[in-house]
Structure 1
Amino acid sequence: MSNNIWWGEFTFDESHEKKCWSVGQRAVLIKRKASEWNIWNIESEEEDQDIVVSAGEDFELESDAVIGRFLEKASSDKIKVLPKLADRSVIARPSSPLTILAGEKVQLFISTPIWFYAETFPSAKCLVDLPFWRPSDSWFGSSTIDGQLCYAKYTSAKTKVEELDLHPHRATTSIMVINSHDKELIINRINVPVNYLHLYSDDKYQLWTSGITIERNNESADIELIIERSVSVEFQPLTAISSPRETSEHGKLIRRISNLFG
């Protein structure tokens, strides 16, 4: 199964059967036994290839790649696999600074890494929750006290849908930035709270998140970030895949501008 729907319910017909989800040399293998699940995490340099579901014949089950044995009285014959967004904010760093002139609004498209998540079915007990490629850790904020621990990832910030370079192991977020201030807004980095966003798939199984609107409108150090309930109609039709890892009241987040833009 290549670049098709690699998530959903997967049946293990018999004990000791294994399945593999791979992107090039990067792979996660899951093996069913009578009363346990074994999982291997085989890492590699990041590759831009399709996600392939197979029996894993091309991968050796090295002992140092084992990440766990998960025990239960009797293993079920199914697991559920989902793509998920990162478990904390991702700092996107465009290839060059972005300047939004006073009184202007711009739609940006930012891509962020996807996590591979698998759970028992139907009991919904987590077996594995890890990124295809883990971004580096980064502190984002005005000081060592005022800020948060995030992931950092270089990414291009596109302004047109047709310019997007889509990847099966990344999701795209539409961000509307409204600069209602009388001064220009310069963006070197942007804090994308993907852990608060819904994840969707289009009919080609590319992944999209719910949209974000950010407006800077006065001299306040705080800025309101609105998490949209859906995705822009230009990307429809979409199918909901996974829920946010965290929720916010009324779909709003208040951030210091220094903790949102850098």
Structure 2
Amino acid sequence: MALSELQATDALPLADWWQPRRLSEQGCWHIAIGPFSLYLERTAGEWLVSHQRHNDEELLHRVLQEQLDDRPDSLTFQRYVFRKAPLDFRLQPCLMDRPVVVKTRQPVLIPPGESINFYISTPLCVRLLLGNDTQLQEWPILRLSDTWFGPSTRVGELCYAAKTHARHSLDEVPLRPHRAVTPLTISNQCKTILSIDKVSLPVPLLSVFERSDHTLWTEAVTLVHEATQPLAKLKIERKLPTGIKAAQRITEPRQQAEKNAFVRAFTGIFSD
């Protein structure tokens, strides 16, 4: 990907904020991705980095890059010192480091032998990479609450609770610059009805893809419920589903899924 200079104004509804950039030594650069703001300043021998999050819902679709005359006085900057500071940087979108628990819009009952499709958007983290991809920091764009997912306080795993819904139609999913969309299929191969109102999505096992319209996606995921297993069988397609074209992988998974993996997906105790 070719480097491009940061421009004084670059605001688009959905922009490719993950492209490599070159930072001048003049002023402080402010980069906003939805509710998350990043401030960067470079000299010949150091980088100054700070960030903040906003609670204003009107900022959820914001992508902004602008040059400020001075750094904000209210923020504390972290100082990274180099013999010769790198000129270039890029922001890399990545998924959360734990599974994310989301709600269905209403409780769903899946009869035996049936499958249902959902689209789930989950918040991203952002990595700051300098030069030849030296990572300085990583931040979650949204700070999610912890939740326990399992049948008891001793059996299960610590996850994140996301304020989002599993939706049946892609048209119902808001496409926002700080989230990635996962196509999810739930298949009930048991002889009894499967009742679900929350789903745990194993996002550390998923990649991030960019499309030409600047939306971010993951691979399609299938969770299979079988009578012989208390866990769900996990299938991850290593590409986007049919009909989702012009996509390029930009971030690898945090973890590689095991072959014939099983995950705790539908049942458990939640403490939001």
TM-score normalised over the length of structure 2: 0.86
* CA–CA distance in structure 1, aligned partners of residues 138 and 223 of structure 2: 30
Query: Which residue among 253, 256, 262 is the counterpart of 1:254?
Result: 262
2:148–2:269 contact (8 Å) kept in structure 1: no
- The 5 Å alignment of 1:79-94 reads 79-94=89-104
Post-superposition shift, 1:168?
1.3
Q: How many residues were matched structurally?
A: 257
Identity %: 26
The question of 1:183 aligning with 2:192 is answered: yes
Query: Which residue among 217, 220, 223 is the counterpart of 2:229?
Result: 220
1:191–1:260 contact (8 Å) kept in structure 2: no
2:151–2:269 contact (8 Å) kept in structure 1: no
Amino acid at match of 1:62: D
Q: Deviations over 1:24-66 (max 9, x none)?
A: 6641111112222111112210532221122246x85235x32
Distance 1:245 1:162, change over 3 A: same
Matched with 2:78 is 68
Please report the RMSD computed on the Cα atoms of aligned residues, expressed in angstroms. 2.2
Give the secondary-structure state (helix, strand or coil) at the position aligned to 1:195.
Answer: helix
Give the secondary-structure state (helix, strand or coil) at the position aligned to 1:6.
Answer: coil
Give the secondary-structure state (helix, strand or coil) at the position aligned to 1:134.
Answer: coil
Amino acid at match of 1:80: R
Post-superposition shift, 1:180?
1.3
1:196–1:244 contact (8 Å) kept in structure 2: yes
> Tell me, which stretches of 5 or more residues in structure 2 are unaligned?
1-9
1:190–1:260 contact (8 Å) kept in structure 2: no
1:135–1:152 contact (8 Å) kept in structure 2: yes
Matched with 2:3 is none
The question of 1:54 aligning with 2:66 is answered: yes
Q: Deviations over 1:164-223 (max 9, x none)?
A: 221111111011111011111111211111111010111110111011111112232232
* CA–CA distance in structure 1, aligned partners of residues 153 and 66 of structure 2: 45
Distance 1:173 1:261, change over 3 A: farther
Matched with 1:44 is 54
Give the secondary-structure state (helix, strand or coil) at the position aligned to 1:108.
Answer: strand
* CA–CA distance in structure 2, aligned partners of residues 121 and 167 of structure 1: 28
* CA–CA distance in structure 1, aligned partners of residues 223 and 79 of structure 2: 44
Matched with 1:10 is 21
Amino acid at match of 1:52: L
Amino acid at match of 2:135: C
Distance 1:203 1:70, change over 3 A: same
Amino acid at match of 2:147: S
> Tell me, which stretches of 5 or more residues in structure 1 are unaligned?
none
Matched with 2:213 is 204
Post-superposition shift, 1:128?
2.2
Distance 1:54 1:4, change over 3 A: same
* CA–CA distance in structure 1, aligned partners of residues 56 and 178 of structure 2: 10
Give the secondary-structure state (helix, strand or coil) at the position aligned to 1:249.
Answer: coil
Matched with 1:109 is 119
Matched with 2:37 is 27
Give the secondary-structure state (helix, strand or coil) at the position aligned to 1:80.
Answer: strand
Distance 1:74 1:16, change over 3 A: farther
2:209–2:218 contact (8 Å) kept in structure 1: yes
Distance 1:77 1:140, change over 3 A: same
Post-superposition shift, 1:102?
1.7
Amino acid at match of 2:120: I
Amino acid at match of 2:263: R
Q: Deviations over 1:100-141 (max 9, x none)?
A: 12211011111100112111111x221221122211111211
* CA–CA distance in structure 2, aligned partners of residues 108 and 164 of structure 1: 10
* CA–CA distance in structure 2, aligned partners of residues 261 and 234 of structure 1: 36
